[in-house]
Structure 1
Amino acid sequence: MNLIYTDKMSGLMRIIVSLIVLISLSSVVGAQSNDKLHLVFVTGDEEYRSEESMPMLAKILKRELDCEITICYALDSLGYIDPNNKWHIAGLEALKTADLMIVFTRFRELPDHEAKFILDYAESGKPMVGFRTATHAFLYKDDPERQHLNEAWPIKVFGQKWITHHGHFSDGHGYLTSVDILKEGRKHPVLRGVEPFKAYSWLYHVQGKGYSLSGNSQALLTGHSLRSNYSENKKFPLDNPVAWTKTYTGDAGKEARVFFTTLGHPFDFKDESMRKLAINGIYWALGLEKKIPKKGTNVTFAGEYNPNNSGFGQKYKKGRKPEDI
């Protein structure tokens, strides 16, 4: 509001105009304090179709939370979604105003100015959620100054690095992991409405045999490998955590809530319990656990979800540009 005082104004009129200005400013501040939550999804993996599963979750969240959504994709030079482009994710500047960062990337080698948005957000003290390959979100092979992002960064932020898994076995053509609720996690709000289910994701190893989840990680779900390259008496057990909560304290000195799951095959999200796990986890990270109903959040699809199967190379859907959510 631009108001101009003139010499012809009476003293009373000046007071009235000043009050109008103050009331107007107060209403602006009030509007800002009621701004919608801004959720930013950082996608970019060439195997698990995060460019399809994360927009599906985003549509549910927009419906349920009436929030603002930004989805950052790996794009080619013409602006088409290309998860094989490990060197670019568009739109990461949106993290400057994000209330939550959701990461589903794999072995990215981003330039400094792009990676900085992710790293700065992680140090801000604001909450984070990670899916599956965020345990190996980055891979800088020939850059000694950034190699800590390959393993040390995901360990401290998300709870674990990439170690190994139990094998693929006909991706997407059969269940590979049986998911159950750990006794100590049964009353956790993230698990409201979540029932034991079977997943297409092959089990990741994150704990045991010399490895452990970092910090104050609290495992909620356990996975049992239904098919494995390893036998029980060898190095990696057939049972491992597949979802946990933790906190991470960054440079801001504030404990940020973190929810993580090593599940994330595109077909996993067809299961209602998997979607409830994901959406409940996002609510919890945002500090909205009181809004999670006893039977879990409403995770009915907000549109079609028919993702391509997992796989490398050219198995993603071609000719797609980012869509409005």
Structure 2
Amino acid sequence: MHALPGLANTMAPRKPYVVFVTGDHEYSGELTLPLIAAELEKNYGMRTKVLKAYPDYNAEKDIPGLEALKEADLAVFFLRWRLLPKEQLTYIDDYLKSGKPVMGFRTTTHAFNYPDGDDRKTWNAFGEFAFGSPPGWGGKAAHTHYGHKSTTDVTIIPEAAKNPILTGVEPSFHVASWLYRVLPDYPAKGSVPLLMGKSVNPDKEAIDNPVAWTWQNQWGGKTFMTTLGHPEDFQVESVQRLVINAIHWELGKPVPKQWKGKLDINVPYGHPKKS
């Protein structure tokens, strides 16, 4: 049989499938990321799925639906100190080892918090092996932040100014996030820092630290990581552009030629646990 003339050209291309995995105690990622997902579907030709901790953001042992990662083209993580069962970790493990791209926000540097003696404890270093970030909170990496009363001035790193992820991002802008310390040992060797943060009103002596970078993990997966993620950060148009651009970059697509406009994101901060 022969295809009808022009039939192949009428088939719509497959839409990229982006799966968001949320559960972070504090920063309302389960509320902000669905708004990003909706924008991707409305204006950027993507399919999305948002997974949430069950029964709420404080529940550490269950994120239903992780089997969606088997079909995902991009996995986006906003996690904090989860204690997921092995069968759920397997979906994340299989995804990572497929070499597909990953994106992480803020507390994903310490996504898991298994106790000593637990054979899942190696997952506490998820931030390091997936994103080139410090391997969990505190510890030898001195991964900490500069106080909940501080904020952060962000600037484009000059060497990265022409990176497509930074298209339309202002040279400098201000965010509510208190600055995370990742230096001196992170981001990992081979990373490309994009944005630098300077703590404003820190609670201790502060040094400037990268707040966004790209990297390639050991399975060949493209990585974008940002330590930004306070819900008020998502109100900043430059942060919105950064995220939308990075998602396109991760998927191997050109960044949008035309910005569809600022998103209306108004999510409160105030989950009870701190970090």
TM-score, length basis structure 2: 0.89
Mapped partners of 1:298, 1:73: distance in 2: 27
Mapped partners of 2:127, 2:63: distance in 1: 18
Mapped partners of 2:117, 2:23: distance in 1: 20
- In structure 1, the partner of 2:202 is 228
- In structure 2, the partner of 1:166 is 146
- In structure 2, the partner of 1:262 is 227
Matched, 1:63 2:42: yes
Mapped partners of 2:232, 2:95: distance in 1: 30
Mapped partners of 1:129, 1:72: distance in 2: 15
Out of 242, 260, 267, the residue aligned to residue 298 of structure 1 is 260
Over 3 Å counting, the alpha-carbon distance change for 1:299 and 1:56 in structure 2 is farther
Mapped partners of 1:206, 1:142: distance in 2: 24
- In structure 1, the partner of 2:269 is 309
Deviates most, 304-313 or 34-43: 304-313
* SS of 1:63 mapped into structure 2: helix
Q: Which amino acid aligns with 2:183?
A: Q
What is the 5 A alignment of 1:1-325? 19=1, 23=3, 34-76=13-55, 82-151=56-125, 153-161=126-134, 162=137, 163-169=143-149, 176-195=151-170, 196-208=172-184, 211-231=185-205, 237-250=206-219, 255-288=220-253, 290-293=254-257, 297-301=259-263, 304-312=264-272
Mapped partners of 1:119, 1:230: distance in 2: 37
Mapped partners of 1:168, 1:291: distance in 2: 34
Q: CA shift at 1:115, angstroms? A: 1.4
Mapped partners of 1:218, 1:37: distance in 2: 25
CA-based RMSD of the aligned residues comes to 2.1
Percent identical among aligned pairs is: 40
* SS of 1:307 mapped into structure 2: coil
Q: 1:145-200, CA deviations, whole angstroms, 9 ceiling, x for partnerless residues?
A: 2211112x32121011231111101xxxxx60000111111010011111111111
Bigger CA radius of gyration: 1
Q: Which runs of 4+ in 1 moved over 3 A?
A: none
Mapped partners of 1:114, 1:67: distance in 2: 25
Mapped partners of 2:107, 2:43: distance in 1: 26
Mapped partners of 1:120, 1:297: distance in 2: 34
Asked if 1 retains the 8 angstrom alpha-carbon contact of 2:195 and 2:211, the reply is: yes
Which structure 1 segments of 5+ residues have no match?
A: 1-18, 77-81, 170-174, 232-236, 316-325
Mapped partners of 2:64, 2:118: distance in 1: 25
Q: CA shift at 1:144, angstroms? A: 3.5
How many residue pairs get aligned? The number is 263
Deviates most, 37-46 or 222-231: 222-231
Over 3 Å counting, the alpha-carbon distance change for 1:308 and 1:241 in structure 2 is same
Q: Which amino acid aligns with 2:144?
A: T
TM-score, length basis structure 1: 0.76
